[in-house]
Amino acid sequence: MTVPKIQLKSNDDEIFDVDRDVIRLSTTLNTMFQDLGMDGPDADALSDPIPLANVNATILKKVIQWCQYHKDDPLVTEDPDNKDRRTDDIPSWDVEFLKVDQGTLFELILAANYLDVRGLLDVACKTVANMIKGKTPEEIRRTFNIKNDFTPEEEEQIRRENAWCED
Strands 50-51, 5-9: pairing is parallel
* Beta-sheet strand order (sheet of 50-51): 15-19, 5-9, 50-51
User: pLDDT tens across 95-110, in order?
Assistant: 999 999 999 999 999 9
| Residue 120 confidence (pLDDT) | 96
User: pLDDT tens across 29-87, in order?
Assistant: 989 888 887 766 555 556 789 999 999 999 999 999 999 999 988 776 666 555 556 66
Mean confidence (pLDDT) of the chain: 87
Strands 15-19, 50-51: pairing is unpaired
